[in-house]
Structure formats: structure tokens, C-alpha cells
Structure 1
Amino acid sequence: MEATEAASVFSALGQGSRLDLLRTLLDAGPDGLPAGVLAERLGIVPSTLSFHLRGLEQVGLIRSTRQGRSLIYAAQIDRLRHVVTFLTETCCGGRPELCGSLTPAPAAAPLRDGPMVAAFNVLFLCTRNSARSVMAEAILNKLGGGRFRAYSAGSDPAARPMAEVLRKLESLGHDVSAVRSKSYREFQGPDAPRMDFVITLCDELQGQHCPDFGGQAITASWPLPGPGRYEAGSPDRQLMVNELYASLHRRLGILTNLKVDALDRLSLRHRVDDLGESPLTVARER
């Protein structure tokens, strides 16, 4: 990013209502919000809101997509990352790693009174175990704070995880040294860890029903589109990977904050299943 381009971004943000608008869209995640909802939440009349939306869209900080008669606006996370990179790339004489993280550290899991409770095991399933389920495994292992242990598998696993997925995870600080594509049958043997949750991330597993992991596992479906539909290395595939990461991170952030121990089995299943109902907005969907 050039200095003149960065300056145009900062100029577009140089007004309180626009900052509030961008923060609201960041909170909404990749699904975004309709203009009418934004106007109501921020208390801005439609004509003024349109002016601010246009200003942010012109510098690439937000994007609009049409759904029926509504325009849905969503923040562009990669654009913000470019701005942050521009600000920090010369930090500490070109060694930004010496400056410490500029993002807030995740809150530690609250301490519990009484005896320690075993972590909950979560298995994410999709067909190839190369993108969606691999992402979910890495994200939950980072967000879980010791309360959750994540695994992933597929019904027809690929030779290896998708390169774009591994690069995305590494760039955001996830350890991918042990990540690999594998069959769900590895988790059905007598020595396999007992699963508390089994979450499928595609519409179906090669026409099969979800594998049986015993009656104790709570099952849920979070159907998400796979980036494998796009050509390797293409902008469309990278866009899909970025949006999948944001969508899964939001869902799993909610999951890790559920009071799992305090909910009965039926309520817990409904809560987890409900997390799969928010659609993923992909602007370049064919």
C-alpha cells in the first residue's frame, strides 16, 4: 500500500459516525448488515448513512452485495490488514516482531471453583478434510483455552490440506505443524478419544449419513461452501478462504463462551445447531 492510498483511507475514517459504522460492520462479521439495520442501530437518517457508506466503500473498507431488494454491507478485513501493515512495517527499524502484538490478546478462560473438569472433545467433519474442517480444528484449539480439544477428519480425505488454508492459518498465528488430512475412521477405534461434539461443515459426506460416534456425542450441522470449487491460486479461492475463516472464528468464539456445564443436553444441542444457521456471504459466488 502506498502512502497516498493509506492517506485516503484515513481521510475516509476521519469522522465519528464513519468510525462507528465501520466498527458495527466489523462486529457483524462477514455476513454483514442491511442498510436499514445500520441506520436503526446508529440512529442515522438514511440519506446521511448512504453518504457515509459510499465514502467507506470508495476506499475499499466495506463492500455491498445485493440480496433480493436489500443491499448488504460488510467490512473488508483484508483491506484493514493492509492499512495496519502499512503503519507497522517500519516499526522498530523494520523488525515489527520486536514491537509486540498490536492486537489485544484473547481473554483467558475464567478460573473455575472446585475440581478440574476434563476438556470437551470436538470433531469437525467434511468430505476432503482439506479446508473447512482443518480451519475449524486450528481455530478452536487456539480459542478453546484448554476447555476444548479440536480434531478434524473427512469421509474421502485429500492427500494434504489446501495450501491457501495452511498459509491463512500460519499468517494468523496458528500452529499447523501437525495438521493433516485423514479419515474419520481414525476416530472410531477403541483407542480414539471419545467425542463430545461432532460438527459437520458440508451438506453431506459423499452421500453418507454422519458417522456414528456413540450416543454421547452431540451432533450439529454447519453447512458452509468449500473453496475447492475454485481454481487453486485464484482470487476467488483466496476470498472464500478468508470469509470461511472469519465465519468459523465467529461461530467458534460463541461456542467457547457457552456455559456448557450448565446446559442440559437438549438445550446444548439446540444452541450448537443454531450456530450453523447464519449464512456465509460470498460476493463472488457463481
Structure 2
Amino acid sequence: MNPCRVLFICTGNSARSILSEATLNHLGKGRFEAYSAGSKPTGQVNPYALEELATAGIPIDGLSSKSWDRFVGEDAPPLDIVITVCDSAANEPCPVLFGDFVRTHWGLPDPAAVKGSPVVINKAFRKAHTLITYRLMELLKLPVETMSQEELKRALDGIGALSDEDNNGDGA
């Protein structure tokens, strides 16, 4: 498991999964290789997601909204972890991908669904990215290379249960 390959999936692959992919690739520095995809990709990355990443100093080159189809079949990269980031609390359907990898769910509200002024929307993206970053920092602390699939699953499920309040912040 070197690097550990992680796929973040959501429905549209335009915001949360993109933020997760770019941030883990940036923070993981070769230890992790992150991808993102959607079951019904929008075809474009949300500009507020790109702005949030750029503001955080995270490279945005090569990011795209894509179908999860490229992660199934013989030519697909092998995956170690698949993380859904849909908001099940909002009855948002989460895609399901099958394979021999650890699956977990790290739900969070969709900042792309927020309506209002650019300031309000930027704040929603910042809040989502803050929680994503917090969870990814917890992932980076794990000895994923030596953990069994069961241990990794338990740890990832625990990380997915973390909220903004656990980070002692409001995401702003």
C-alpha cells in the first residue's frame, strides 16, 4: 500500500470530492494518491471549490469532474480506500462502488447547494474544506501501511464521525 490510493466519490464530483482529492494529494505528499469521481458528474469543477483550494495554497491543475466509470474495469487504478462524501442527513443519495478496498462514509453538507451572495457561498466552501482538512489530517496520522482492513475501516469510520465541533471551530 505505497502509496495508499484513495477515491473520494459523490454524486456530482464538483465540490466536496474535488476538495478532498486535491487536499489529500497536497497534504499526503506521495504517501497517499487521491482521486475523485461522481456517479452523475456535473462535467465541471465548481469555481468556488477552485477558489477555496487556491486560497489555501493547494494546486488546482488537472482537477476535473469525472465519472466513476474510470475506476472500474481492468484499466482502473487499484484502490485501497473509497470514501463517500455525500450528505446522508439531507437525504442525498450516495453512490456505491464495489471492489476489494475499505469503504467508509464521511458525509458533509454540499457547499455547492448553498444559495446567497458570493460571501455566503465562499463561507460554505471554507467551512466544508475546513472539515475535510481536519478529517484528512486525522487520516494522515494513521499507520495505514500496517493496519488490517478491519482496523482501517474502524479508524476511517471514526474519522467520518468527526464534525466541525470536534475541531473546535466553526469552519470559518
Instruction: State the TM bucket, normalised to the shorter chain.
Output: 0.7 to 0.9
Separation in structure 1 between the aligned mates of residue 82 and residue 66 of structure 2, nearest angstrom = 15
Between the two structures, name the one with larger relative contact order (CA 8 Å, sep ≥ 6): 2
- Report if the CA contact (8 A) 2:22-2:58 is conserved: yes
2:171 paired with 1:275:
no
**Highest CA radius of gyration, 1 or 2?**
1
- What corresponds to 2:54 in structure 1? 170
Separation in structure 2 between the aligned mates of residue 261 and residue 177 of structure 1, nearest angstrom = 28
2:123 paired with 1:123:
no
- Report if the CA contact (8 A) 2:11-2:93 is conserved: no
2:54 paired with 1:157:
no
- Report if the CA contact (8 A) 2:8-2:82 is conserved: yes
Cα-Cα RMSD: 2.1
- What corresponds to 2:124 in structure 1? 240
Moved more, 146-155 or 164-173: 164-173
If each structure's helix is expressed as a fraction of its own residues, which one has the higher value? 1
- Report if the CA contact (8 A) 2:10-2:84 is conserved: yes
**Equivalent in 65, 72, 82 of residue 188 of structure 1:** 72
Deviation at 1:231, TM superposition (A): 2.7
TM-score (normalizing by structure 2): 0.87
Aligned positions of 1:1-286 closer than 5 A: 118-203=2-87, 207=93, 209-212=95-98, 214=99, 216-231=100-115, 233-280=117-164
- Report if the CA contact (8 A) 1:155-1:206 is conserved: no
Separation in structure 2 between the aligned mates of residue 209 and residue 169 of structure 1, nearest angstrom = 24
**AA in 2 matched with 1:251:** R
The CA deviation string for residues 100-154 of structure 1, in whole angstroms up to 9 with x for no partner, is xxxxxxxxxxxxxxxxx62010000111111100000000001112110000001
- Report if the CA contact (8 A) 2:17-2:85 is conserved: yes
| Equivalent position SS for 2:120 | helix
**AA in 2 matched with 1:190:** E
Separation in structure 2 between the aligned mates of residue 160 and residue 184 of structure 1, nearest angstrom = 14
Aligned length: 165
Tell me, which stretches of 5 or more residues in structure 1 are unaligned? 1-116
Tell me, which stretches of 5 or more residues in structure 2 are unaligned? none
- Stretches of 4+ aligned residues off by more than 3 angstroms: 203-209, 280-283
TM-score (normalizing by structure 1): 0.54
Deviation at 1:209, TM superposition (A): 5.0
